[in-house]
Each structure stands twice: as C-alpha cells, then as structure tokens.
Amino acid sequence: MGLFDFFKKKKVKNSAAAPMTNDAWINYLTSRGYQCSTEKALQVAAVFRCIDIISKTMATLPFNLYKTTKNGEEKAKEHRLHRLLYAQPNKYTTRYEFMQMGIANLLLTRGMFVKIERDKNGFIKALWNIPTNNCSQIYINSATHERYVYVTTDEGQQETLYEDEFMFIPSFKFSSNVNSEDPMYIAANVLGLVNSADRMSKASFNGDHPGGYITYPGGLSEDAYERLKTSFNENYAGAQNAGKFMLLEEGGSAKQFEVDMEKMQVLETKKFLISEVCRIFGVPPHMCMDMEHATFSNIEQQSLEFVRDCINTYCVRLEQAFYKDCLTEREKDIYFFKFNLNSLLRGDTATRTQYYHTMRQDGIMNADEIRELEDMNKIDGGIGQVYCINGNMIPLSSVPENIPKGAMNKNAK
C-alpha cells in the first residue's frame, strides 16, 4: 500500500454508514470547478508539503506516559500503555507510522480514528489506525447514550465499534458536539484557485494558449488550408516543439502574441496561493520553500512560532484525547500523557550551552538532568545529582558575615 493510499474512499455497503457530507455545499463548489477531495488536495505541492512537515514532526516527537509522585512526575515505564505509545502500538506498526498516518488524517479529513484492541480483562493491548474515509459519522444510541461508528475494513467487511473500542480526535468543530467539519471542504475555495492557476500555467506552456496567428495576403485554398493544419499539428503544436521555425506556403506570415506570465500575474498568483495554503495549516512559508520574505533573523522566530502555534496545539489535542479514552477513571488521578518538545526548542549549541550554564549556576538543574537532555549517560556514583549554586550569590542578611577581616575598620576610618 502506498503512503497515501489510506485516503482512498472505500465502498460502504450500508447507506447509514456513509461518511458525513454536505451535498449542497459540495455541489456548489463542484459547479464552480473546485475539487474538494483529499486526493485532489494532495496534488497541490504546498498542501502536500504542509501535511508532510506537520505529520513527520509530530511522528518524531517522544510521546510518554507520566505518573504523579510525591517528588513530582516521572515516566511510567512499567505501565502497559507506555510501550504502545512510545515505541510500537501494535505488532505491525511502529509508533512513527502510527502517528504520521493519524495526523495526516486529522489534517485532511474529519478527524483521526483509532481502533482500541483489548484483552479478555479489558486492558488495552494494541492500537490500530483506521482511515477516516472508511468510517461513518459517529452515532449515539438514544437509549444508552453510547457512541458507535460503522467501519469498512480493507477486505470490504463492515464492523461496528462501540464506545470503548475506538477513539475519535475531531478535526474542527463548530456546528455539532459529536461530529466535526471536513477542513478540505472549508478550504476548497483556496484549493480550487490553486488548481485553476496550475491549469492556466500548464495551458500557457503546453501550447493550449493561443500563441499567435498566420496571415495570407491573397487568401488560402482549401487544400493548402488542410495541409497547414496537418503540418501545424504534427510539427509545431505542444511544448516539445516550442521555438521551431515554421515553413509557410503561398506567401503566408506568422505573427506572435506577447504572452508575459508576469503581466498575466500568474506567477504572483501562485506565490500568493502558497501563502494562503500555509495560512490554512499554520506552517511558515519558508518551510514550504517560499523564501521570498525570509531572512536569517526571522526564520528562527518563525520556526519557534511553528512549534508554539501549530505543533503544540496538536500535541495538546492528542494528549487530552488519549487521557480521555485510554485511561481508567482511577488511573486518571495518577497518570497523564505528554509530548516532549525540547528537541524542537533547544536551538543551536551556543544557545543551549548558555542556558544550561545559567540553570546550573542558579541551582535549578543538576548535571545529570542536563546530560539527559543532551542524550548523555548519568555521572557514575550519583555525583551528577548534586544541585550547586554560585558561591558569590548570598542573602543580604549574610553580607556582614562575609566581609573580609579588617574591611570594617578601614571603612570606619
């Protein structure tokens, strides 16, 4: 299966299980030539890049289960969920693959679906991605108020998942407390303009745009006209024949239209639309290789804003969703999930060195804590656990006790 094959829609046997759509809105956009599907969206280079950079960044972040202790918080490595979410959610999928596929669905569709597999005692033993386009909308049992969803498997079979058997992380909610909106339909106007600009560019370069005209002072006979059409289509049409000299008969002359892509504002339009796509996904333009307004100073700041305003929001969304659906009520008082963003925020070597130096001198961090952040082993013998503070920093009340001998007498004189 290809990287994005999971976006392809499966045929759903039961009409009640069909994915939620807004037919009136889709028909309106389609009539204007705008395509709303995820497959069409991924064919736009800027969209693919935004999906790729966000999903890969999220997939590389450490995702740990923590527990609260009397000394603060520590990783709950002994818990069954720690291995599932830190390394391998199921026997066929790595944590990177699991997270990348889930985030890609979250960005491009109604949300991210996960199947929860439990053992005979009810404990979670595996987590499986479910392509969103294989899932129906979420229904609620009117008697028990339990959620359930219909799922079509890759083999074409249909199954029903109930409350404790699936997770749903919605993409964007505003009109329903249960189901979410499809972001591609919301962004279809921009994506339609992108496709229109691409089609216009291709038409201009492929020879589909009229490039000029041919004149004959004395008119053209029927046979000569047919020979001209045949010769033109065979020898001069298309981008591969651009620049060739034409051989004209009966005194004909060719005149060229001036086709300036910049005057037609096609290039400016495509640049603007790249920025529009970046705005939709919250990705800085320089990460989509648009370096027009990038400088050495603002790239670092934009990269930090990308972590704060884009990546962090998805981290919080997933942390809360896994807390809600994967922990028991008793466990929720002790455990919580947390992404580690330090690798994205720690900057260059000189900046990190200055930061660690200050934290160590002020007694906020010890040597082992600093070494752990740099993926280094702890110091043997527990020496790295000692907290130190700069000896020159003392309370004001202790100043008289630390004045050198004889200094008081000199000041008195």
pLDDT tens digits, one per residue of 284-331: 888 887 777 666 667 778 888 889 889 999 999 999 999 999 999 999
Q: What CA–CA distance (Å, rounded) separates 232 from 247?
A: 10
Task: Name the band, by pLDDT with cuts 50, 70 and 90, for residue 242.
Answer: low
Domain tally for the chain? 3
Within 13 Å and on the Cβ side, how many CA atoms surround 367? 11
Last residue of a domain, one of 341, 359, 381: 341
Shared-domain flag, residues 285 and 381: no
Residue 339 phi/psi, 5-degree rounding, is -80, 150
**β 147-152/253-256 pair status:** unpaired
Bigger pLDDT: 137 or 71? 137
Is 292:313 a contact under the CB 8 Å cutoff?
no
Shared-domain flag, residues 243 and 305: no
Task: Name the band, by pLDDT with cuts 50, 70 and 90, for residue 396.
Answer: low
Shared-domain flag, residues 58 and 129: yes
Nearest to 19 by CA among 144, 145, 109: 109
Task: Name the band, by pLDDT with cuts 50, 70 and 90, for residue 12.
Answer: very low
Is 65:82 a contact under the CB 8 Å cutoff?
yes
Last residue of a domain, one of 325, 341, 357: 341
Shared-domain flag, residues 274 and 245: no
Shared-domain flag, residues 280 and 196: yes
Shared-domain flag, residues 171 and 149: yes
pLDDT at 282 over 60: yes
Domain span holding position 123: 1-209+262-341
Shared-domain flag, residues 328 and 368: no
Mean of the pLDDT values across residues 360-374?
A: 86
Shared-domain flag, residues 203 and 215: no
Which residues are CB-contacts of 396 (< 8 A; sequence separation ≥ 6)?
Answer: none
Is 244:212 a contact under the CB 8 Å cutoff?
no
Task: Name the band, by pLDDT with cuts 50, 70 and 90, for residue 29.
Answer: very low
Which residues are CB-contacts of 271 (< 8 A; sequence separation ≥ 6)?
Answer: 290, 292
Name 148's bridge partners: 139, 162
pLDDT at 390 over 90: no
Shared-domain flag, residues 117 and 134: yes
pLDDT at 363 over 70: yes
Question: What single DSSP character describes residue 292?
Answer: T
CA distance readout (Å), 36 to 19, 126, 294, 335, 347:
14, 33, 31, 41, 39
Q: What CA–CA distance (Å, rounded) separates 274 from 270?
A: 6
Last residue of a domain, one of 224, 241, 258: 258
Find the Cα–Cα–Cα–Cα dihedral 93, 94, 96, 98, rounded to 10°.
30
Shared-domain flag, residues 215 and 332: no
pLDDT at 365 over 70: yes
Q: What CA–CA distance (Å, rounded) separates 68 from 283?
A: 34
**β 158-162/166-170 pair status:** unpaired
Which residues are CB-contacts of 244 (< 8 A; sequence separation ≥ 6)?
Answer: 235, 236
Is 127:117 a contact under the CB 8 Å cutoff?
yes
pLDDT at 8 over 50: no
pLDDT at 15 over 70: no
Shared-domain flag, residues 297 and 310: yes
Structure tokens at 201: 């560019």
Shared-domain flag, residues 320 and 411: no
